[in-house]
Structure 1
Amino acid sequence: MKEDLPAQAPFRVLLGPDGAGKSSVMAELRRRCPQWRFASTDDAFVDEEHRLVRDLRAHVENDVLPALGDTYSTDFLAGLLQTAVLYLRDRIESAPARTPLLVDSYYYKILAKCRIAGLKDNPMYTWWRTFPRPDAVVYLDVSPGTAWRRLRAGAGVNRLESADVDSGWFGFESYQRELRKLMMEEVRQVPVVTVDEQPSVARTADRVLEVLAP
């Protein structure tokens, strides 16, 4: 008799604009649900054996983005961002079968940001779209105004978060609205549940748990 093959680990994606609070919500869920697994490129979720992922993320933020268009091209940036996509895919494919897994943004947000950066069509997008599909996407819907306040009125905003960093709020709002549109385009073939803006991380985590409950 042929043995049953292990099932693909079920996974969901937590998606949202910059400043939506995904990392904070994932940290809260990890505290409440130790039986779950979490995949993210944020430092708090990357273990020591994958420290290269943390290092690359830091170099993108500190070295590449400030020199984008001068020292580094958008193609070079996209090549570095692809490492994050592959890291998340690898975490999905290596997850134990039947263990709930929550993934931060997956390739959807990075793809949308690459498109905004000027890479409208790229062969790697076709490849990314062949990667494992989540059971559902949970979208944390916060207004650009709320996100702006959470990001200290734009004090930490970079060129992957604003159409024009020097224009302050206006560049940020424009970028975030376009980002939302493109992310929604990418997840149109996946069930999407929207979690409306909540007054706290704990309340947001409550709503996400309600959505993800079997």
Structure 2
Amino acid sequence: MSENSFYVLLGPDGSGKSSVMGELKRRLPDFRFASTDDMFVDEEHGLIRQLRAHVEQDVLPRLGQDYSFDFLVSLLQTAVVYLRDRTSPAGGQESLIMDSYYYKILAKCRLGGMEDNPLFSWWRSFPQPRAVIYLDASPESAWLRLRSGRGVNPLESTDTRSGHLGFGTYQKKLKKLMLEEVRHLPLVTIEEQPSTVSAADRVMEVLAA
């Protein structure tokens, strides 16, 4: 797949990207979809599912205690390269929608205080999409969508003990850094929608345009 021949769906935690991608997958059988979310990872890439599960269950709860942020970044690097590899053509299907790409991971690493890791320059050299579609959501709505913060981890909140306040503060900072990372690209923002279907409708309009 050549540069600029795919789209990235970006948004804060709890914006509903996975649900929207699921709806788009139903509507767009000729498109490929790339994500580290289990529902989009093929059987032959089961290692990605396992890695994500171990990061969420083992590393994040003990981040800063048993595991350093450097260690976490080394694991996230695997996910980033996996997504980059999905930009190569497969079976003649050239159209691809990708969940977040490296932009969200990089923004979260920066929020964790990692500004100068040499990996980041490499990530930024990866093929760039035709456009970024930003699926916006207020921290309040996202908090509710995440079952009132149940299971929120240190990469989603400034303080997991502070409830929606820490989550909201983190998400505002995350949005700023994500938009900073994609400022060189065509960007379409889809304001918060009342349902997954209406959000998918708006994305379809962007793709058609």
Query: What range describes the TM-score normalised by the shorter chain of this pair?
Result: over 0.9
Give the Å deviation of 1:156: 1.8
Aligned with residue 95 of structure 2, among 87, 96, 100: 100
Q: Which residue of 1 aligns with 2:125?
A: 130
CA distance in 2, matches of 1:159, 1:22: 20
Does structure 1 conserve the Cα–Cα contact (< 8 Å) formed by 2:31 and 2:93?
no
CA distance in 1, matches of 2:92, 2:206: 21
Q: Which residue of 2 aligns with 1:213?
A: 208
Give the Å deviation of 1:93: 2.1
CA distance in 2, matches of 1:165, 1:42: 22
Does structure 2 conserve the Cα–Cα contact (< 8 Å) formed by 1:9 and 1:92?
no
Does structure 2 conserve the Cα–Cα contact (< 8 Å) formed by 1:9 and 1:100?
no
| Aligned residue runs from structure 1 range 27-106, under 5 A | 27-95=22-90, 99-106=94-101
What TM-score, normalized to structure 1? Answer: 0.94
Runs of 5+ unmatched residues, structure 2? none
CA distance in 2, matches of 1:173, 1:9: 33
Q: Secondary structure at the match of 1:93?
A: coil
CA distance in 2, matches of 1:188, 1:29: 25
Determine what percentage of the aligned residue pairs are the same residue: 65
CA distance in 1, matches of 2:29, 2:172: 34
Give the Å deviation of 1:95: 3.9
Correspondence 1:156 to 2:151: yes
Q: Which residue of 2 aligns with 1:110?
A: 105
Does structure 2 conserve the Cα–Cα contact (< 8 Å) formed by 1:9 and 1:98?
no
Does structure 1 conserve the Cα–Cα contact (< 8 Å) formed by 2:3 and 2:128?
no
CA distance in 1, matches of 2:189, 2:17: 13
Aligned with residue 196 of structure 2, among 185, 195, 201: 201
Give the Å deviation of 1:97: 5.8
Give the Å deviation of 1:105: 0.1
Correspondence 1:178 to 2:192: no
Residues 89-98 or 8-17, more deviating: 89-98
Runs of 5+ unmatched residues, structure 1? 1-5
In 2 relative to 1, CA 12–182 (structure 1 residues): closer, same or farther, beyond 3 Å?
same
CA distance in 2, matches of 1:164, 1:64: 16
Does structure 2 conserve the Cα–Cα contact (< 8 Å) formed by 1:15 and 1:104?
yes
Q: Which residue of 2 aligns with 1:3?
A: none
Q: Which residue of 1 aligns with 2:164?
A: 169
What TM-score, normalized to structure 2? Answer: 0.97
Residues 72-81 or 7-16, more deviating: 7-16
Give the Å deviation of 1:96: 5.4
CA distance in 1, matches of 2:64, 2:192: 35
Structure number with larger C-alpha Rg: 1
Q: Secondary structure at the match of 2:127?
A: coil
RMSD between aligned residues: 1.3
Q: Secondary structure at the match of 2:87?
A: helix
Does structure 2 conserve the Cα–Cα contact (< 8 Å) formed by 1:16 and 1:22?
yes
Does structure 1 conserve the Cα–Cα contact (< 8 Å) formed by 2:36 and 2:48?
yes
Give the Å deviation of 1:78: 0.4
